[in-house]
Amino acid sequence: SQKIEQNSEALNIQEGKTATLTCNYTNYSPAYLQWYRQDPGRGPVFLLLIRENEKEKRKERLKVTFDTTLKQSLFHITASQPADSATYLCVSYSSASKIIFGSGTRLSIRP
Amino acid sequence: NAGVTQTPKFQVLKTGQSMTLQCAQDMNHNSMYWYRQDPGMGLRLIYYSASEGTTDKGEVPNGYNVSRLNKREFSLRLESAAPSQTSVYFCASSFRTDNTEAFFGQGTRLTVV
């Protein structure tokens, strides 16, 4: 079955370091991937979209990569800040019009 | 702009009761969605409406019905609530179903006892 997996363990990072989150997909080839941020008690908020023919996308301190060989997307936050603490969701869209959400990785940035 | 507005924010139901979750968007989006989010799991798509006048099943449609009342509004109905439907429900909208960002409401926390 089509699956998208994110590291379910929380990631704890020292402020100022780069946080790297991983999203792996199996048994399908998404046309694009999206990353969302979700704070407790709130709905997800869109951050970035990367298409299958794009290797890398940047937005301010955020960077996303898409490796179709490894079937993986990496999400980086550089110069991390405590305000970046949240759960980050990877979402894929396949040609079968299927939207699949990962379960998310909780990121904590300590001062 | 309000974006995506869901009501109610919290609800407790008894097993077998029915209720309708309301969702409205003011961004002139064509597509709308209902998701549920359970601990340790990703958001799962219940139903979606690619455009006004159409609705389609998502991954977990059993026990739910939807109505795309007009372009702005998309409601989710539980006809006979079950404890397994205890969850946080999110409504979302996007310009179209592919290749565009989705905007989410704040969620409805539903408990079925």
pLDDT in tens, A20-41: 999 999 888 888 899 999 999 9
Q: Contact at 8 Å (CB) between A109 and A82?
A: yes
- The arithmetic mean of pLDDT across residues A33-62, rounded, is 95
Give the per-residue pLDDT at A9.
Answer: 84
pLDDT value at position A97? 58
**Predicted confidence (pLDDT) at residue A79 exceeds the cutoff of 80:** yes
Asked if A66 contacts A52 with a C-beta cutoff of 8 angstroms, the reply is: yes
- Tell me the pLDDT band of A96, cut-offs 50, 70 and 90: low
Closest alpha carbon to B47 in B27, B21, B25 = B21
Determine the pLDDT at residue A93.
81
From the number of C-beta atoms within 10 Å of its C-beta (0-12, 13-18, 19+), residue A101 rates as: buried
- Interchain contact A42–B (C-beta under 8 A): yes
The per-residue pLDDT for B42 is 83
Judge: A4–B42 Cβ closer than 8 Å, yes or no. yes
CA distance B93 to chain A (A): 12
Buried/exposed code over A53-80 (b: 16+ C-beta within 10 A; e: otherwise): eeeebeeeebbbbbeeeebbbbbbbeeb
Cβ distance of B98 and A46 shorter than 8 Å? no
| Nearest chain B CA: its distance from A73 CA (Å) | 17
pLDDT at A2 over 90: no
Chain B nearest-CA distance from A80, in A, is 24
pLDDT tier, A1 (very low <50, low <70, confident <90, very high otherwise): confident
- pLDDT value, residue B1: 63
CB A91 within 8 A of CB A47: no
Smallest CA-to-CA distance from B36 within B98, B71, B82 is with B82
Q: Which chain A residue lies closest to B42 (C-alpha atoms)? A: A103
At B83 the three-state DSSP class reads: helix
**Confidence bin at A3 (pLDDT 50/70/90):** confident
- Can you give the pLDDT of all 113 residues of chain B as single tens digits? 689 999 999 999 999 999 999 999 999 999 999 999 998 788 999 999 999 999 999 989 999 999 999 999 999 999 999 999 999 999 999 998 777 899 999 999 999 99
